[in-house]
Structure 1
Amino acid sequence: MQNGSSSSNGGGEGRKALSEVVADCVRRWFQDTLKEAKGGDVNMQVLVSQMYTAGYGVPKDTQKAKAWMSRASRVRSSVWRVSEKHPGYNASDSDSDELMGDAR
């Protein structure tokens, strides 16, 4: 390495800090999820709501979170049980027995 050149701490030309890369991925995940949610995918509608609730990939917005969860609940009323869960939590992951009671 020559004197004055960048070290491997992210200061090199064209390099981003890992936190920036992760933040960009999360934003893109939100955008992809939103597209699917608008297309009618109930699971993605729940995920968009969770993302708005947590501020994950998008600024926190409780009104938008509730609106997306309401939209998803038109198809599956049990979705409200996961509205406050972290993004990606799926009711079927651990609540399937309890949720099956709703369908009976």
Structure 2
Amino acid sequence: MENGNSSGGGERQSRRVPLSDVVSDCLRRWFQDTLKEAKAGDLSMQVLVAQMYFYGYGIPKDHQKASIWMTRASRVRSSVWKVSGKRPGYNASDSDSEELLDNS
């Protein structure tokens, strides 16, 4: 029964999705989950949303929205601007804040 119409291997092969589509979908869902947490006030997620807008991870690039989210996060911790141009996932740590205070 190589050509069976039930749940055989041939059906799986015809439903293959290009890896780029899978990755794009994952990035889109990552952005949506991150945005939800950012809107709820999570500082790290606000920074991540800004970075995602800046680089276009899961969302079209939008430097104006990136700046808005980074400004929102900087109201709590000014050191977040140090990572505004970094790739998504690079966070401002507490040591960054202390470094700014030491240099003032």
TM-score bracket relative to the smaller structure: 0.7 to 0.9
**Alignment match, 1:5:** none
Q: Once superposed, which parts of structure 1, at least 4 consecutive aligned residues long, lie more than 3 Å away?
A: 96-99
Return the alpha-carbon distance in structure 2 between the equivalents of residues 25 and 72 of structure 1.
25
| Aligned-partner residue type, residue 84 of structure 2 | S
Q: Where in structure 1 are there 5+ consecutive unaligned residues?
A: 3-7
**Alignment match, 1:28:** 29
Count of matched residue positions in the alignment of Structure 1 and Structure 2: 94
| Aligned-partner residue type, residue 34 of structure 1 | L
**Alignment match, 1:99:** 97
**Alignment match, 2:62:** 61
| Aligned-partner residue type, residue 100 of structure 2 | D
Q: 1:23-60: CA deviations, max 9, x gaps? A: 10000000000000000000000000000000111000
Return the alpha-carbon distance in structure 2 between the equivalents of residues 68 and 50 of structure 1.
9
Q: TM-score when scaled to structure 1?
A: 0.81
Alignment RMSD (CA, Å): 2.0
Return the alpha-carbon distance in structure 1 between the equivalents of residues 89 and 50 of structure 2.
10
Q: CA deviation at 1:86?
A: 0.2
Equivalent pairs: percent with the same residue? Answer: 63
Return the alpha-carbon distance in structure 1 between the equivalents of residues 49 and 96 of structure 2.
23
**Alignment match, 2:45:** 44
- SS of the equivalent of 2:89 reads coil
Q: CA deviation at 1:13?
A: 2.7
Return the alpha-carbon distance in structure 1 between the equivalents of residues 69 and 63 of structure 2.
10
**Alignment match, 1:76:** 77
Return the alpha-carbon distance in structure 2 between the equivalents of residues 72 and 97 of structure 1.
17
Q: CA deviation at 1:97?
A: 4.4
Return the alpha-carbon distance in structure 1 between the equivalents of residues 80 and 41 of structure 2.
15
